[in-house]
């Protein structure tokens, strides 16, 4: 039973540590605005799909204005501001991602000469460069080191995706496309074909969005493993040492098992905040769509009375949109990110306070425990360091490193996996305890706290003793 309890405690510990990794991942995704990048990737694919239908003659300028309206929040920026920010992108990003400037300034920032022709019109190459700068294409074999450098740099400020949406609805995309003058003209002239084309584009957009989402999920799984390993090394999380502590310390095991519901509640809180974040974003997008519809209603109003009514409605919709955006922006604020970081720190501190052997008070940090009373209670590997040669010490260090990396991989499997494992182990544990209790109780009854039952059991036992004595 002690071995099962130790395994259950280890699963709960890994689940708690995986929750910390989940928080770190969410901080990274929001800070680097990776979800905004997914929207850009979807629109890049959608832009290419326009070449296969009746709207293929849209020029680069028209396509850019359409895409910018889709991806950019009009409250936080405009198409011109977005273009200006992209033109100030550091040259390292141009070089890493094959976005070439003119030869005369190949190591400088991109300028309008690289994006527009002599008449001031955006070129097809310029459009591709703009889209590549906003969202990098992972699947095109870009240099891994460059991608990592750019990713890390985004934590110190990302002026490219700061004003973009994380996610938009299909209707939002189609309505922005319908606002393009050439699309309006074609839709009237070729009504039946336009309906078929919009249906085809709608299906393609959903396909591309699903594909990008699947790719993003695979990437986050890989990042989860990487961050799990990095976290295990930085925090000195040795799963073998933790399991050995649980195997030999029943009090520590009981303390961890008692925390099971609290650990689950902590993870559910992380998931709930993410769900609230997604809902706030969807609500903001829906509110913006209602504002757009109200503006169109004003344009189509036939009388002053109708126009006045729609203007009142527009003001109400705009207020609702501003409230929705204020709530959404609050979830992306620095304070919110700081709170998430503090929660991760508190989760780790709680495990250490309980007595889980995590941190640099343990091997391989043996400097603080090589003499006096500390040496007696030190890790056996620390006590043996004094007596061993360098090769033996190197072997112990490699064993520790392997255990820590393995623990990081296990942490990277994510909290839901380990909570599920812990739940199944808890059920097995409960079943074994019930069976053992039944075996003890087979020969008699329990009082179960009842004074009446206890007196009855005592009276029955005493009567049996007297009966046996009379028989003898």
Cβ-based neighbours of 68, under 8 Å, separated by 6 or more: 79, 82
**In whole angstroms, what is the distance from residue 247 CA to residue 253 CA?**
8
Mean pLDDT of the chain: 78
Cβ-based neighbours of 8, under 8 Å, separated by 6 or more: 253, 257, 422, 425, 426, 429
**In whole angstroms, what is the distance from residue 421 CA to residue 436 CA?**
23
Helices (H), ranges, 412-450: 415-440
pLDDT band at residue 91 using 50, 70 and 90 as cut-offs: very low
Helices (H), ranges, 32-90: 34-49, 60-71, 79-87
pLDDT value for 164: 79
**In whole angstroms, what is the distance from residue 98 CA to residue 94 CA?**
6
**In whole angstroms, what is the distance from residue 273 CA to residue 382 CA?**
43
pLDDT band at residue 451 using 50, 70 and 90 as cut-offs: confident
At residue 162, does pLDDT exceed 80? no
pLDDT band at residue 109 using 50, 70 and 90 as cut-offs: low
Per-residue model confidence as pLDDT tens digits over 260-317: 888 888 778 877 877 787 778 778 777 877 887 888 788 888 888 888 888 888 888 8
Helices (H), ranges, 109-237: 112-115, 124-134, 144-153, 170-178, 181-189, 191-235
**In whole angstroms, what is the distance from residue 146 CA to residue 98 CA?**
11
**In whole angstroms, what is the distance from residue 213 CA to residue 337 CA?**
23
**In whole angstroms, what is the distance from residue 210 CA to residue 216 CA?**
10
Residue 63: Cβ-neighbour burial (10 angstroms; 0-12, 13-18, 19+): buried
In the block, which residue shows the tokens 């003499």?
371
Six token digits for residue 402: 């392997």
pLDDT band at residue 152 using 50, 70 and 90 as cut-offs: low
């Amino acid at each position: 039973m002690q071995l099962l309890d130790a395994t259950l405690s280890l699963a709960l510990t890994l689940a708690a540590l995986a929750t910390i990794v989940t928080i770190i991942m969410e901080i990274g995704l929001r800070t680097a605005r990776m979800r905004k990048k997914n929207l850009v990737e979807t629109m890049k694919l959608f832009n290419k799909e326009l070449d296969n239908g009746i709207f293929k003659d849209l020029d680069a300028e028209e396509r850019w204005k359409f895409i910018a309206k889709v991806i950019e929040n009009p409250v936080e920026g405009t198409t011109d501001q977005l273009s200006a920010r992209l033109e100030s992108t550091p040259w390292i990003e141009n070089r890493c991602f094959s976005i070439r400037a003119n030869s005369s300034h190949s190591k400088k920032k991109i300028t309008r000469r690289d994006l527009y022709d002599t008449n001031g019109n955006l070129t097809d190459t310029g459009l591709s460069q703009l889209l590549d700068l906003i969202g990098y294409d992972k699947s095109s074999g870009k240099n891994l080191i460059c991608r990592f450098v750019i990713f890390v740099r985004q934590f110190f400020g990302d002026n490219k995706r700061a004003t973009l949406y994380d996610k938009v609805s299909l209707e939002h995309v189609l309505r922005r496309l319908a606002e393009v003058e050439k699309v309006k003209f074609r839709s009237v002239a070729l009504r039946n074909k336009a309906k078929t084309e919009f249906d085809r584009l709608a299906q393609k957009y959903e396909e591309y969005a699903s594909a990008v989402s699947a790719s993003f999920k695979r990437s986050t799984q890989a990042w989860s493993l990487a961050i799990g390993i990095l976290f295990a090394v930085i925090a000195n999380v040795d799963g073998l040492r933790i399991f050995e502590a649980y195997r030999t310390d029943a009090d520590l095991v009981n303390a961890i098992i008692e925390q099971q519901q609290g650990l689950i509640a902590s993870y559910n809180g992380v998931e709930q905040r993410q769900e609230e974040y997604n809902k706030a974003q969807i609500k903001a997008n829906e509110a913006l769509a209602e504002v757009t519809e109200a503006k169109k209603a004003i344009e189509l109003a036939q009388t002053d009375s109708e126009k006045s009514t729609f203007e009142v409605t527009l003001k109400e919709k705009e207020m609702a949109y501003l409230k929705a955006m204020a709530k959404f922006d609050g979830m992306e604020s620095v304070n919110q990110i700081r709170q998430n970081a503090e929660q991760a720190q508190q989760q780790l501190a709680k495990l250490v306070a309980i007595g889980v052997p995590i941190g640099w008070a343990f091997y391989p940090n043996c400097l603080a425990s090589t003499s006096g009373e500390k040496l007696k209670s030190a890790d056996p590997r620390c006590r043996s360091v004094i007596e061993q040669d360098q090769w033996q010490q190197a072997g112990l260090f490699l064993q520790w490193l392997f255990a820590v990396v393995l623990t990081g991989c296990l942490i990277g499997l994510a909290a839901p996996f380990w909570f599920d494992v812990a739940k199944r182990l808890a059920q097995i544990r409960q079943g074994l305890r019930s069976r053992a209790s039944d075996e003890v109780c087979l020969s008699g009854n329990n009082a179960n706290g009842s004074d009446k039952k206890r007196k009855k059991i005592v009276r029955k036992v005493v009567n049996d003793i007297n009966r046996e004595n009379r028989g003898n």
